[in-house]
A and B are shown apart, each in its own frame.
Chain A
Amino acid sequence: MSDDVLVERLRGRDLRAFEQLYKAYHGRMSRFLLNMVRRPELVEEVLNDTMMVVWDKIGDFQGASKLSTWMFGIAYRQGLGALRRLDEPVDDERSATMESQDATPEQSAAHGRSRMALTKAIDALSPAHRAVVNLTYFQEFGYREIAEILDCPVDTVKTRMFHARRHLKHSLAGDLADWI
C-alpha cells in the first residue's frame, strides 16, 4: 500500500490501516528509540505515544515530506520528552569536546577493545548525536531529511555526525579492522 493510500485511510479513521502502519514501523522505530533513550523499559511507552500522535494528528500531515520523515520527527520529540521527564540532558554538545575524557588508544587496547567500551562510548554521546547516527546508518535517511526530523539546520546534522563518528572511532582505538 502506498503512503498516499495509507494516509487517506488513516484520515478516514481506518483502524486496520493504523494497525498496518504500527506493525510496519514497530521494528525500526523501536530500534531508533532504544538507541536514543537507551532504556528498554521506556521504548514501548514512547512508541505507543508516538503512534497515538500519528493517529490523532494525521490531518496535519501535508505530504511535504515523506510519511516516515514526519513519523520519525514525532518519535524524536516524544523521545526527548521522555528523557526530559527523567531529568536527562537531551541536547548538550558534550560530544564535540569529549575527546579528552576518552580512553587513549593504548588504554582501550589494554581493555581488550571490549564491546563494553564501545557501548560506553555510545552512551557518552548525547541523545541528539545518537539520533543522527541511528537515522544515518540504520534508517538510511539523507542529512536533509534528518534535519527535518530533528528540526535543526543541515549543518548541525553534519557536524553532529562528524563528531559522533570521530568519538566512536576513537573509542575503537583507531583499529577498526581488528575490531570486526
Chain B
Amino acid sequence: MGHVVTFPADRHPEVQHLLPWYGTGQLAEDERAMVEAHLGECAECRADLEAEPMLKEALASASPDAETGWAALEARARRSMPAPRRANRPWSALGPRLMRPERLKWVVGAQFAALVVLSVAVLPTATSVPAERQGAYRTLGDAPAGRSGNVLAMFRPDASIAAMRHSLDASGARFVDGPTPAGAYVLDVPGGEKGRELAALRRDPNVTMAEPIEEAPPE
C-alpha cells in the first residue's frame, strides 16, 4: 500500500517561475528537460507558454515611444553641442568629459599655430582682390542671411497644418527647419529662451515640446 503517486502539480509552481526563460531559450539543459516534462502534462502551463510571445509583443508596443524619447534627447544633444555639424552625434556628448586639460593645451596650441600659418599664406592673396570683385552676389534662391532657429519644437501627431500655423501665429514664431527624422521642427521664436513667446508656445495644447537651442559660440 506504500505506493507513491506523483501529481503533475508538484512541479507546477517551479515551472511557472521558469516559463519566461524557457520561452527565450535561456534555461540550463536540466531545467529545460524538467519544464518540458511538466508541459506534457499541464494544460495551464502550456497555455501560459503560448501567451509568452504575445505578452512580449504587447509590452514592446506599450513601451515608451522611441521617437518621443529621441526628441527629448535630440533637444538636449543640440544644446550641448554648439557646432551644428555635431548635433546628431550623441557620442560627442562624452567628448568634453574625456578631454584632459593636458591634451587640451596641445590641441589649442596646434590650432593657433595653424591659424598663424594660414594667415601668412592666405592674407596677401585675399587683400590683393580688387574691391569691386568683393561685392556680395545673391540669387533669388539664396536663404536669407542670419536666419537661424532658437527653439526645437514638436507638435501633436494629429495637429493639422492650420492648427500648427495658429500656434506659430499666437507665439510670433516662424519655421526655420524641419521636420527632423524624429518629427521635430526648428523655430525662430522672438524673445529667446526667457521670452513670453516661448512660454506661450509651451502652453499651446498642440505643442508637445518646445526646448531652446543653445546658440553656437562665436567662431
Residues of A within 8 A of B (CB): 15, 19, 22-23, 26, 30-31, 34-35, 38, 40-41, 43-44, 48, 51-52, 55, 115, 118-119, 122, 133, 136-138, 140-143, 158-159, 161-162, 165, 168-169, 172, 176-177, 179-180
By a CB distance below 8 angstroms, the chain A residues around B98 are: 15, 55
**Is B64 a contact partner of A180 (Cβ separation < 8 A)?**
no
Among A19, A159, A180, the residue within 8 A (CB) of B91 is A19
Among B56, B62, B64, the residue within 8 A (CB) of A40 is B64
Known A-B contacts: A40-B71, A115-B58, A176-B55. Give 15 more (CB < 8 A).
Answer: A34-B64, A40-B64, A40-B69, A40-B73, A43-B69, A44-B77, A48-B93, A48-B94, A52-B94, A122-B63, A133-B59, A142-B26, A142-B27, A143-B26, A177-B54
By a CB distance below 8 angstroms, the chain A residues around B112 are: none
Given A44-B93, A143-B26, the answer on whether A118 and B21 have CB atoms closer than 8 Å is no
**Is B58 a contact partner of A176 (Cβ separation < 8 A)?**
yes
- B51 on interface, CB distance cutoff 8 Å: yes
Residues of B within 8 A of A (CB): 16-18, 20-21, 24-27, 51, 54-64, 66, 68-73, 76-77, 90-91, 93-94, 97-98
| Shortest Cβ distance from residue A88 to the other chain B in the assembled complex, whole angstroms | 16
Given A161-B20, A168-B55, A180-B57, the answer on whether A119 and B62 have CB atoms closer than 8 Å is yes
Which of B56, B69, B76 has the most C-beta atoms of chain A within 10 angstroms of its own C-beta?
B69
Which of B21, B51, B57, B62 has the most C-beta atoms of chain A within 10 angstroms of its own C-beta?
B62
By a CB distance below 8 angstroms, the chain A residues around B16 are: 162
Task: Name which residue of chain A comes closest to B14, CB basis.
Answer: A158
Give 17 CB contacts A-B under 8 Å. A30-B69, A34-B63, A34-B66, A40-B70, A41-B73, A43-B69, A44-B77, A48-B93, A115-B62, A118-B62, A122-B59, A133-B59, A136-B24, A138-B56, A142-B26, A143-B18, A172-B58
A-B contact count (CB 8 A): 98
Given A35-B63, A51-B94, A180-B57, the answer on whether A43 and B17 have CB atoms closer than 8 Å is no
Among A48, A133, A136, A179, the residue within 8 A (CB) of B21 is A136
A86 vs B91: C-alpha distance when bound (angstroms) = 26
**Is B58 a contact partner of A118 (Cβ separation < 8 A)?**
yes
By a CB distance below 8 angstroms, the chain B residues around A22 are: 91, 94
Task: Name which residue of chain B comes closest to A38, CB basis.
Answer: B64
Q: Is the contact region of chain A dominated by helix, strand, or loop, or is it mixed?
A: helix
A87 vs B62: C-alpha distance when bound (angstroms) = 25
By a CB distance below 8 angstroms, the chain B residues around A158 are: 17-18
A48 vs B94: C-alpha distance when bound (angstroms) = 7
A161 vs B15: C-alpha distance when bound (angstroms) = 13
Given A137-B56, A180-B58, the answer on whether A162 and B17 have CB atoms closer than 8 Å is yes
By a CB distance below 8 angstroms, the chain B residues around A165 are: 20, 55
Given A31-B63, A52-B94, A179-B54, the answer on whether A137 and B76 have CB atoms closer than 8 Å is no
By a CB distance below 8 angstroms, the chain B residues around A122 are: 59, 62-63
Among A30, A31, A176, the residue within 8 A (CB) of B51 is A176
Task: Name which residue of chain A comes closest to B65, CB basis.
Answer: A40
| Shortest Cβ distance from residue B95 to the other chain A in the assembled complex, whole angstroms | 10
By a CB distance below 8 angstroms, the chain A residues around B64 are: 34-35, 38, 40
| Shortest Cβ distance from residue B158 to the other chain A in the assembled complex, whole angstroms | 16
A77 vs B73: C-alpha distance when bound (angstroms) = 21
**Is A137 a contact partner of B54 (Cβ separation < 8 A)?**
no
| Shortest Cβ distance from residue B212 to the other chain A in the assembled complex, whole angstroms | 14
A158 vs B21: C-alpha distance when bound (angstroms) = 10
**Is B73 a contact partner of A137 (Cβ separation < 8 A)?**
no
